[in-house]
Structure 1
């Protein structure tokens, strides 16, 4: 599907803190998110600006990024500073599940997904650049992203995939036979098969019109929603073809240069064959750098590592 539709904003909910990087809904239609100061928040009635309110659930003591709601109501939190956490949405207890891998500190943990067998898969965006220098990895094109697996009985994670270009969002197929990884640095989705003769191997799943960030699966029969943090940048892709030394110099410059996200925002939904189901865009948007999207009721809720709140948009009709 090549046709795009308008991403229609309805209202904005201020959170009193910057950077709701990921958004996920709970069974009651509330939206969970983590912000820059380390708090995990729950937004009640996101579809109604008159009754919407924000509740503090927990404080991680770090920087929460990707979230995954577990069947028992607890929350998996990828914390860029502390590693993989499990947070109780009842009493706010925070427990570290993993903070190292292969003798190396687990830094820039980005997104997680839990499968029915109790195993947990986690992406690491970069082993070279921390979160506050994320643009350095995008420019340098380091290929140091990873996919990790945590066994059902816990223990230290194992490295399942290496060499990913800024591994980011993560979602499972409907039957659990493969994972879909957002590879931000290549503007594509990657499939990692978990079963069969090619288990543990990565292959291209879908090329995208922008840089993918977090992924969210809308139930077993629904699509995978993809947040596009920015449009494709042809000069950047040309830079990626230059020698590593050139890219390292460009990355150092990019880290210290002023940055302002593009005013073009977008989200895409894909099915389990990698086909586009929806593509929504908005030019000259006041809400910039969409890093996550989820659906609740008749609305799409957008998160952003840049903004101090979430945007609520009209949900497209099913095709």
Structure 2
């Protein structure tokens, strides 16, 4: 991993709602995000805090996490409480696309992508812990994360991969031949091959210097951006090597303890071979627990599970 460079904050834009966990830029450079209160927001003119404007697109009635803008103006939403949703363009009507798999209720859906043929893939972070106890899964290292597939014609989703360590962000390779899955609990990105002789198999895409959260691809020829929600925690790495009973006891304590995010934040950008293009960090940041990043114009926009707004930073020069 190359030496990181500084992440330069420019300004902060309040959204009037907490927890913009995922931020994604649409085709017009506007930024979409979901808030803790269930609203899906679209933010205009983020480059200037004096003219930034927040528009409400829809209310899911749950807790929206990962988003995927669609060519027709709709938005796919992974809702931690309600499952996989679609927000219709125009009126903001919300439809449930999937709320169960194999007869079990879907919970903790995390991120979603749509392929050109209409197939939808999405992740489930944990089958054991809900969103408000996410740290329990990270500590226990349950390996209950999943990748699911919803056919273009709809119906019941199918389980494609199991045993993932807190499956989180999801992105499509630039040539559409593979998916990249963020495994937060393992500090790695995993590649799932969609086509070719390795179709249906996985391998390591990249090992990271922290815990990846949401992923965002900057167009078919652009880099893949990953937010690092936390630096690596060496004591946690050691705990993950202990017996399940020890990890379980530690997790039960962790979910009841106050969590204070690290003051070090970071993002990375990678090419389609998994090589690092940018690694940006900031120590002693007032904006904490960066769970998503996207680029629009000359700026990087950072989202957070905890903050009541987004941070706008300078976009790095092309290497």
TM-score (structure 1 length as normaliser): 0.99
CA deviations on 1:174-211 (whole Å, 9 max, x unpaired) are: 11111000000010100001112322222111000100
Aligned structure 1 segments of 4 or more residues deviating by more than 4 angstroms: none
Q: In the TM superposition, what is the alpha-carbon distance from 1:26 to its structure 2 partner?
A: 1.5
Q: List alignment gaps of at least 5 residues for structure 2.
A: none
Q: How does 1:1-319 map to 2 (within 5 A)?
A: 2-319=2-319
Render the CA deviation track for 1:6-50: whole Å, top value 9, x for unaligned.
100000000111100000112221111000000001111011111
1-side partners of 2:135 and 2:219: how far apart?
32
Cα shift readout 1:95-139 (whole Å, capped 9, x = no counterpart): 000000111111100000001111000000000000000000000
Q: Is the 8 A contact 1:299 1:312 kept in 2?
A: yes
Distance 2:96 2:248 in 1: 33
On the 8 A contact 1:191/1:203 being kept in 2, the answer is yes
Match of 1:278, SS state, is strand
- Once the two structures are superposed, residues 141-174 of structure 1 have per-residue CA deviations (whole angstroms, 9 ceiling, x without a partner) of 0000000001110111010000000000000001
Please give the per-residue CA displacement for 1:232-279, whole angstroms capped at 9, x wherever unaligned.
001001000101011000000000001110000000000110000000
8 A contact 1:268–1:276 mirrored in 2: yes
Aligned-pair Cα RMSD in Å: 0.7
Does the 8 A contact of 1:58 with 1:89 survive in 2?
A: no
Deviation, structure 1 residue 89: 3.9
Tell me, yes or no, if the aligned pair for 1:161 and 1:201 is still in contact at 8 Å. no
Q: Secondary structure at the match of 2:156?
A: strand
Q: Secondary structure at the match of 1:253?
A: helix
In the alignment of these two chains, the number of paired residues is 319
1:217-241 Cα offsets, whole Å, 9 max, x none, are 0000000000000000010010001
The whole-number CA distance in structure 1 between the counterparts of 2:169 and 2:8 is: 23
